[in-house]
């Protein structure tokens, strides 16, 4: 049983001002595996005060000092890499091999990318009679989600540290174990007291207090578009900078000049990856009308080959959804698709046979979907794929862009000219062609209601910097 009821404030583990125990569940077994305390505005005040005091010196630290500290953090992370993977697997249900190979690697990758960028980043340059200086914005508030927990912690914390900011982190209360382990790594790395602080809590309590706090200079949030809107409103009165990485309903356009079986199978597997709990998952598959039924048949076979199992089981499979509440939401979306007339090809309501305990969901494919159905408009955040036919390239682009979101888009084509042409016409922050990876040094973020700002590598530095012109 993990007892993580303390917060990390001003370089020490401290008790909450008002204890408020909150159980942490293993979504594979529905058993309690730990306990945290939910903080309050009073705890946030203590953390922000510590961060503000630390900024006076850390904000003026040298590039060399910050490089040395990030190197120590990376070493601490690698020393406890397996522990991080275990924490993620237990808190949010990622199968242990996936947690080690993909989830935990995000922490390593983002620290390394920030370290590399810091060594080369231009904080100062001349422009006519002015010296243009990039300076740390100040105290930052971070609100991170449960679906890729250390990914979103590291891709905010590492560039903030690299640029000289101080911070208060609120990890997800549903998956808080990884945030606690990371805080121990920060302490192990030897960061000055107050540079990094961590307070557990929920959105209405700690999240709102961070967003509206007058001594926080910027807030960075990853999560739903609805919550991002609330955070922006809470931050408005203090006119702080707000960076948002929100939802997605990413299209995957399959053209008929590529191996259909390979492209569709990859698309299905990518959609099911992390049980569909990824904001950039390719959840709308657009296929040529002339080959639609063949495509549906391929997708069904691919989904039926996806194995579902518990998070402590080794192998290539998907685990449970993160919680009972989220399971109920995904089940409701599946039922809504059936009621709106989508054709259920495979999967559907209920749990897979033999997995009645745990928040497990069947890999599900819907065909005969049009772009106005709920299943095509709203983010399901589960292993559910909607297949939509199109007549020609122009209609494929129109359907792909007909969404309030614009996080990611995917293309599968053997025609390089078409790939370049279509990629430029898609209103999305990230376009991946023929299964190409999105690496740690590329900008991550989207258009429209998928948010604002960019994260990862050197692109993640900008939200943490102010620009000053010193003219002579």
Q: What is the CATH number of the domain that holds 144?
A: 3.40.605.10
Asked if residue 246 lies in contact with residue 451, where contact means CB atoms within 8 angstroms, the answer is yes
Q: What is the mean pLDDT of residues 232-238?
A: 97
Is there a single domain that holds both residue 227 and residue 291? no
What is the predicted pLDDT for the residue at 115? Answer: 98
Residues 434 and 457 in one domain: no
Backbone angles phi, psi at 469, to 5 degrees: -105, 125
Both 255 and 242 in one domain: the answer is: no
| CB atoms near residue 293 (< 10 Å) | 12
Element (DSSP H or E) covering residue 92: helix 81-92
Q: Domain containing 421 — which CATH number?
A: 3.40.309.10
What is the mean predicted confidence (pLDDT) over 436-446? 98
Tell me which DSSP letter residue 255 carries.
Answer: P
Q: How far apart are CA 229 and CA 450, in angstroms?
A: 11
Query: Are 311 and 351 contained in the same domain?
Result: yes
Q: Give the pLDDT confidence of 322-353 residue by residue, as tens digits.
A: 999 999 999 999 999 999 999 999 999 999 99
Residue 324 lies in a domain: yes
Number of domains in the chain: 2
pLDDT band at 264 (very low <50, low <70, confident <90, very high): very high
Q: Tell me the pLDDT of the chain averaged across its residues.
A: 98
Domain presence at residue 423 = yes
**How many helices and strands in the chain, by DSSP H and E?**
15, 23
- The SS3 call for residue 199 is coil
Of the candidates 221, 92, 211, 106, the one whose C-alpha atom is nearest the C-alpha of residue 456 is 106
In a domain, 445, yes or no: no
284 sits in which H/E element: strand 284-288
Of 40, 43, 35, give the one whose Cα is nearest residue 14. 43
Tokens of 382: 């589960």
Find the distance separating the first CA and the last CA of the chain, reported in whole Å: 62
Q: Which residue has the tokens 């505005």?
A: 41
What are 197's strand-pairing partners? 168
User: What gap in Å lies between CA 287 and CA 401, rounded to an integer?
Assistant: 15
- Judge whether 460 and 441 are in contact, CB under 8 Å: no
In which element (H, E) is residue 111 found? helix 104-120
pLDDT digits (tens, 9 = 90+) for 171-208: 999 999 999 999 999 999 999 999 999 999 999 999 99
Output the pLDDT for position 367.
98
As given in the structure block, the two tokens for residue 231 are: 């955070």
Indicate if 43 and 181 belong to the same structural domain. yes
Give the percent of the chain with pLDDT over 70: 100
Residues 239 and 284 in one domain: no
Q: Are residues 267 and 399 in the same domain?
A: yes
Contacts of 347 (CB under 8 A, 6+ apart): 303, 334, 362, 363, 364, 365, 383, 384
Length of the chain: 472
Question: What are the pLDDT digits (tens) for 144-177?
Answer: 999 999 999 999 999 999 999 999 999 999 999 9
Is 80 a domain residue?
yes
Q: Using CA atoms, how far apart are residues 305 and 308, in angstroms rounded to an integer?
A: 10
Looking at the structure, do residues 225 and 258 belong to the same domain, yes or no? no
Do 171 and 217 lie in one domain? The reply is yes
178 and 35 co-located in one domain: yes
Determine the Cα angle at 115 with ends 145 and 463, to 5°.
Answer: 55
Lookup result for tokens 């299964």: 435
pLDDT tens-digit map of 11-58: 999 999 999 999 999 999 999 999 999 999 999 999 999 999 999 999
| Co-location of 61 and 187 in the same domain | yes
Q: Is residue 356 part of a domain?
A: yes
Q: Which residues contact 225 (CB under 8 A, 6 or more apart)?
A: 246, 247, 404, 405, 449, 450, 451
Tokens of 299: 């997708």
33: which 2 tokens? 């595996």
Instruction: Confirm whether pTM is higher than 0.75.
Output: yes
The catalytic site residues sit at 245, 279
pLDDT tens, residue by residue, 365-419:
999 999 999 999 999 999 999 999 999 999 999 999 999 999 999 999 999 999 9
pLDDT at 120: 97
pLDDT at residue 95 in the model = 98
Residues 74 and 103 in one domain: yes
Task: Please write the tens of the pLDDT for every residue from 86-106.
Answer: 999 999 999 999 999 999 999
Residue 272 in contact with residue 382, Cβ under 8 Å?
A: no
Boundaries of domain holding 62: 2-246+450-471
Q: Tell which residue, 397, 418, 345, has the closest CA to residue 375.
A: 345
Confidence of residue 68 (pLDDT cuts 50, 70, 90): very high
């Amino acid at each position: 049983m993990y007892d993580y009821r303390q917060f990390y404030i001003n370089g020490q583990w401290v008790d909450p001002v008002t204890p408020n125990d909150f159980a942490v569940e293993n979504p594979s077994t529905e058993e309690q595996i730990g306990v945290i305390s939910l903080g309050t505005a009073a705890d946030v005040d203590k953390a922000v005060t510590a961060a503000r005091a630390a900024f006076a010196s850390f904000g003026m630290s040298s590039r060399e000092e910050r490089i040395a500290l990030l190197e120590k953090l990376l070493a601490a992370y690698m020393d406890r890499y397996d522990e991080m993977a275990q924490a993620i697997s237990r808190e949010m249900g990622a199968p242990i091999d996936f947690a080690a190979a993909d989830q935990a690697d995000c922490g390593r990758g983002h620290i390394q990318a920030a370290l590399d960028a810091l060594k080369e980043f231009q904080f100062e340059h001349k422009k006519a009679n002015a010296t243009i200086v990039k300076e740390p914005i100040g105290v930052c508030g971070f609100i991170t989600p449960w679906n890729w927990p250390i990914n979103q912690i590291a891709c905010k914390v590492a560039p903030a540290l690299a640029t000289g900011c101080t911070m208060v982190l609120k990890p997800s209360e549903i998956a808080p174990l990884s945030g606690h382990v990371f805080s121990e790594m920060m302490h192990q790395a030897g960061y000055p007291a107050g540079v990094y602080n961590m307070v557990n809590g929920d959105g209405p309590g700690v999240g709102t207090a961070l967003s509206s706090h007058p001594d926080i200079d910027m807030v960075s949030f990853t999560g739903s578009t609805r919550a991002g809107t609330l955070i922006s409103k809470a931050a408005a009165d203090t006119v702080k900078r707000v960076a948002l990485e929100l939802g997605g309903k990413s299209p995957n356009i399959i053209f008929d000049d590529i191996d259909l079986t390979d492209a569709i199978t990859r698309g299905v597997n990518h959609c099911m990856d992390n049980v569909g709990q990824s904001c950039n998952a390719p959840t709308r598959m657009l296929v040529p009308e002339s080959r639609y039924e063949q495509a549906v048949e391929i997708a069904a076979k691919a989904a039926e080959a996806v194995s579902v199992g518990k998070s402590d089981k080794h192998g290539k499979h998907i685990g449970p959804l993160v919680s009972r509440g989220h399971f109920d939401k995904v089940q409701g979306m599946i039922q809504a698709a059936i009621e709106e007339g989508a054709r259920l090809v495979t999967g559907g309501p209920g749990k897979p046979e033999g997995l009645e305990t745990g928040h497990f969901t069947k890999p599900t494919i819907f065909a005969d979907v049009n772009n106005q159905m709920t299943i095509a408009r709203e983010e399901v955040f589960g292993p559910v794929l909607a297949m939509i036919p199109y007549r020609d390239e122009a209609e494929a682009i129109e359907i792909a862009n007909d969404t309030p979101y614009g996080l990611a888009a995917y293309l599968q084509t053997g025609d390089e000219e078409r790939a370049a042409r279509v990629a430029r016409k898609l209103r999305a922050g990230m376009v991946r062609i023929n299964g190409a990876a999105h690496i740690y040094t590329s900008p991550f973020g989207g258009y429209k209601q998928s948010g604002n700002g960019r994260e990862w590598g050197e692109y993640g530095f900008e939200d943490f910097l102010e620009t000053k012109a010193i003219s002579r």
